[in-house]
Amino acid sequence: MTCATWTDPAFLGIPVAEGRILRIERFAIHDGPGIRTTVFLKGCPLRCAWCHSPESQLLQPEFMPKPERCIRCLGCTMACPHHAVQPAADKGPVAPDACDTCGACVQACPTGAREFVGRTMSVDALMAEIERDRIFYDESEGGVTFSGGEPLMQPAFLLDMVRSCRASAIHVAVDTCGHADTGALLEVARDADLFLFDLKMMDEERHLAYTGSSNVRILHNLEQLAAVHSNILVRFPLIPGVNDDDENVRETGAFLSALRLTRVDVLPYHRAGMAKYDRLQRPYPLADTQPPSADTQAHVVRLLEEYGLIVRPGGSS
Amino acid sequence: MTERVTKLRQQSLDRKPTLSSERAELMTAFYRDAPAAPLPILRALSFQYLMDRKALYIEPGELIVGERGPAPKATPTYPELCCHSLEDLDILDSREKISFALDQQARDAYRDDVIPYWRERSMRHRMFGELPDAWKHAYEAGIFTEFMEQRAPGHTVADGKIYEKGLSGLQAGIDRELAALDDLHDLDAYDKRQQLKGMRLAADAVIRFAHRHAQEVARLAAAEADPVRKAELEQIAASCAWVPEHPARTFWEALQAYWFVHLGVITELNTWDSFCPGRLDQHLYPYYKREIEAGTLTRERAKELLQCFWVKFNNQPAPPKVGVTAAESGTYTDFSNISNGGLKADGSDGVNDVTYLILEVIDEMRLLQPSSNIQLSKKSPDRFLEKACEVIRKGWGQPSIFNADMVVAELVRQGKSVEDARCGGTSGCVEAGAFGKESYILTGYFNLPKVIEVTLNDGYDPRTERQIGPKTGDPATFESFDQFLEAFRRQLQHFIDVKIAGSHIIERMYATLMPAPFLSIITDDCIRNARDYNAGGARYNTRYIMPVGPGTAADSLSAIKYHVFDHGHVTMPALVKAVRDNFIGHESLRQLLVNKTPKYGNDDEYADAFITLLCDWLFTQIDGRRGPTGSVYHVNYLSTTCHVYFGSVCGATPDGRHAFVPVSDGISPAQGADRCGPTAVIKSASRMDHARSGGTLLNQKFTPALLEGAEGLDQLAHLVRAYFKLDGHHIQFNVVTGDTLRAAQKEPEKHRDLIVRVAGYSDYFCDLTKGLQDEIIERTEQKQF
């Protein structure tokens, strides 16, 4: 997937007025102020080795079976028009080439063992879902958070959503990895109230090695965004052996401080995502990495604070 | 917590409930040689006989005195209402849960004395002799329960008059009414005179009981070597000589005055929901303020006194219950539930310094009794809610939170004056009442899922093998959903009629056979009406029916409509057969019903329409109907532990629920049915019209990690405020323990709604892998308390 094409909605096969949604989480209370609804958009340009949400990476719908629920009723195999499916409990190939993700097996499954992630929703339909919890946003000064994946991977849809929310007086936060079309980002910035901006590491080579992409565009985008938007919370995922060295932390602090950004959350690496790799039958890249120690976290917080930053330690990503 | 309180609290926790035959023996002795007197006077004399003779108990170090039994947790019995058989006593003694140890002396007294006299004279015995077969068959099938078969009507709460007037002040009111009786023109004057005389005698009984304590404590003071304790005992003796006869003079006396009145109510009869001081912060505040300003009381001392007062409640377990009544309310809790905050009579915010003090007491005491709640109005300060949430978040279940504005709206809709409504609150579990002025009697729980089962069986109950309802047609032949709904509506109407017919009999029996003169004195307007509490003497007389399992019932209706008539996933005969087979051999269908049915609790209009429909029907069929004492029926949605009992007598249901497992509790979604988080539950729950109820109960679960930190606390408070903006009545939060999570691992289906904070996100616990589940269990247990 190249940068030249990933912003082109036509390439994605989704009409501009529709988006591909991974899931919608209501009563999200850790993705910005107040009680929020977090909309996870599916698809991400990065492939971070520590990603705890691997099912969000591909834009296409995917099956994410829950084998422990399967009762082997064979409803799915009988429903599949392409004979591409076997019960979720029987891990193994499902003839992926024959599957056109029509969803017949999901419909037929009585237990929910066959689950489809990545549904297509119109702006109106998604707005209606968001509106459901308006009374809670009003009460708590909360709102909606667009997260992912990378929400800016569906820029036209995101822009429509952000504008619709603004028109409906709903507070909007955008949780981005920063690897996005600069024009789209700045356009979204006109109507978004808050950015949660992930900054992983400063060294380009290392960034490429651990995320599959260079960080040049990310750093550039953060500079551009900081120039026009006053409410940016930087999130620094702390991954032992990857970005917890003093050099990277200091460079990060210096970079943010130069941009006059002040708020950083340090999000310690955790291994909760491992199980999802198993379900997607993908290998887990950081099998040997352990969460950072309390000492390491405290040390990193101290280093960042030397740059005049307001650091919240121990938040989670 | 002071050393004294720590010790008293621990003693109370350590004591095991026992059954005391003292009251039963005294009542038997009195009635054997009872004088010839009109019934209210006879009851009052029996009460005097008890209060003059029962053993006194003073705990070393305590500041509030008086016990119901001969010792703390020694629990009396009420053979005039329910005469336990020797077999009942054995069950009470030996059962695993909620047992009451009894000694050979008590057993002998029952065998030789109590049982021979009361066996055929008890209300329970006479009641079952009077109730019609249709009622008994429905009762045995588990369609409904009956509150008054072992315990007396009560379900009421004190207002402020006992502190301000004292019992002598109330007696003066009785004397005025007696003097004004006109035998020539008032054709009920004779009856009224007997009622009023009985009340007067009953007040004397409690005053004399307090005086007996004054003498006993003075004796202990004289013998006390420690000068500090000696002074305390002298003070207590002086208080007991003064209150509750006269108006309380101090904060301390106010608590002691209430406590004697409390003991009077719960000794006269075994009233349901024992009794309760209600708006304690309002009643105590004038004393507190005056004494703090005068420097005669410190905040610390006030707190210690309150904590000693708390211990007294915990020393009084609910009277021993057997059979269905034990199943519907399987707990030692006797439902004293103190209201804090709320509104004043003029509609202004009622939160005061004592409110905050009581929140601290609740936090430190962590006792089963008294239970506590906050009455949150839109006028209540956020600080009040925050302080309460801090306690709630600790996760031991108190205080619960009520919408004070909604409680007022409900009471006013029922016909109370707005002032009486504002001075009311909630008691028991969630029941709205006008404190000190209303008799609001719970008549029984009503099993909605069971009515679905009976409808699916054309009026027949498979468990008791009887035709208990009308023949409304074989559902296998139904060609439209409306046909099923109509059959269900007819069954519902039938059983509500059967229930109310029985309640009429019971209401009349209590009115004519079991007056409660002492409770009548402290409930307006029994004195002015010269009529007993149990005969409709109160200003407001309410009868509640409590439908249980609306979640399970709504989901069952939704499943039938969705899968049979809307989408044709299954035919009606196949569904009926699967349900009758308890889904054995139909697991695939059951999974479909469990997992792919629109269910209540998910902010899903399709499913929630059934809750709305059920509530409409129940309201139409129940609300406003009249009882024989002038009482009026209303609907209340609480279940205590009855959802477990009702489940145990109910076969499988079309929502995929297996036979004999619990049905949904209160207005909470069925176990595991809500999959969209707490905001969706709240949206669904607010689709029913709470204003047309006398209370609803919503349980929410959370894991400690979900609401950590200042932000978590804020969001908990916001969640509550939003629910109340949507006119919700009540919400309570239960912390999820490691045990619950382990149970969820074993039986994921019943716990599909359990949301846990995993790391940077929340997820459904049952959807996590075993390893991750284990880790979260470990983490949850570390976070508790």
Q: What is the pLDDT of residues B448-467, one digit of tens each?
A: 999 999 999 999 999 999 99
Which residues of B are the active-site residues? Answer: 429, 431
Residue A92, pLDDT score: 54
Q: Is the pLDDT of residue B730 over 70?
A: yes
pLDDT band at B104 (very low <50, low <70, confident <90, very high): very high
Buried b (16+ CB within 10 A) or exposed e, A248-281: bbeebbebbeebebeebbbbbbbbbbbbbbebbe
- Chain B, nearest residue to A111 by Cα: B591
Q: Cβ–Cβ of B715/A29 closer than 8 Å?
A: yes
Residues of chain A neighbouring B767 (CB-CB closer than 8 A):
66
Say if residue B783's pLDDT is above 60.
no
pLDDT at B477 over 60: yes
Residue A85: band (very low, low, confident or very high) from pLDDT cuts 50, 70, 90: confident
List residues of chain A with CB under 8 Å from any CB of chain B. 25-30, 34-35, 52-53, 66, 71, 73, 75, 110-112, 132-133, 135-136, 138-140, 142, 267, 270, 272, 275, 278, 316-317
Q: What is the mean pLDDT of chain A?
A: 90
Query: Taking the alpha carbons of B394, B397, B399, B400 in that order, is the dihedral positive or negative?
Result: positive
pLDDT of residue A2 exceeding 70, the answer is no
pLDDT tens, position by position, B21-38: 999 999 999 999 999 999
The torsion defined by the Cα of B636, B637, B640 and B644, in degrees rounded to 10, comes to: 130
Taking contacts as CB-CB distances below 8 angstroms, the residues of chain B near A29 are: 706, 711-712, 715
Mean pLDDT of chain B: 94
Q: How far apart are CA B99 and CA B112, in angstroms?
A: 23
Q: Which residue is closest to B771 within chain A, CA to CA? A: A275
Chain B residues whose beta carbon lies within 8 Å of the beta carbon of residue A317:
759-760
Query: What pLDDT does residue B782 have?
Result: 54
Contact check, Cβ <8 Å, B760/A111:
no
User: Is residue B630 predicted with pLDDT exceeding 90?
Assistant: yes
Distance from CA of A8 to the nearest CA of B (A): 30
Contact B590, B583 (CB under 8 A): yes
Please tell me which of the candidates B588, B715, B760 has its beta carbon nearest to residue A267. B760
- pLDDT bracket for residue A93 (50, 70, 90): low
- The answer on pLDDT for A13 being more than 60 is no
B311-356 pLDDT, tens digit each: 999 999 999 888 887 777 778 888 999 999 999 999 999 999 999 9
Quick check: A110 and B595 CB within 8 A? yes
* Average pLDDT value for residue range A285-307: 93
Q: Examine the pLDDT at A316 and tell me if it is beyond 60.
A: no
The 10s digit of each residue's pLDDT in B748-759 is 877 876 777 665
Token reading at B222: 């004289």
- Strand, helix or coil at A235? strand
Q: Which domains does chain A have, with CATH numbers?
A: 3-60+120-312 (3.20.20.70), 65-114 (3.30.70.20)
List pLDDT tens digits, range A219-265. 999 999 999 999 999 999 999 999 999 999 999 999 999 999 999 99
**Chain segment B439-452, per-residue pLDDT in tens:** 999 999 999 999 99
pLDDT over 80 (residue B706): no
Residue numbers in A near B751 (CB within 8 A): none
Q: How far is CA A313 from CA A233, A236, A248, B76, B779, in A?
A: 13, 10, 17, 58, 19
Count CB pairs under 8 A between chains A and B.
88
Q: Tell me if A272 and B758 make a contact (CB, 8 A cut-off).
A: yes
Tokens matching residue B396: 């031991």
Disruptive mutation site among A30, A73, A235, A270 for chain B (greatest number of B CBs within 10 Å):
A30
Of residues B646 and B756, which shows the higher confidence score? B646
Taking the C-alpha atoms of B458, B463, B468 and B472 in order, what is their torsion angle to the nearest 10 degrees?
-10
Using pLDDT thresholds of 50, 70 and 90, give the confidence band for residue B738: confident
Mean pLDDT of B37-59: 98
Is 50 exceeded by the pLDDT of residue A1?
no
- Model pLDDT for residues A45-56, shown as the tens digit of each residue: 999 999 989 999
Work out the minimum CA distance from B525 to partner chain A, whole angstroms. Answer: 42
**Tens digits of per-residue pLDDT, B666-691?**
999 998 898 898 999 999 999 999 99
What confidence tier does B493 reach under pLDDT thresholds 50, 70, 90? very high
Longest dimension (CA), chain A: 63
CB within 8 Å: B718 and A136: yes
Instruction: State the pLDDT at residue B785.
Output: 31
Single-letter code of the amino acid located at A128: A
Alpha carbon distances (Å) from A52 to A19, A206, B269, B698: 22, 19, 62, 34
B768 touches chain A (CB under 8 A): yes
- Helices within B340-459 (DSSP H only): 353-365, 382-392, 404-413, 418-422, 448-456
Q: Are strands A143-147 and A36-41 parallel, antiparallel or unpaired?
A: parallel
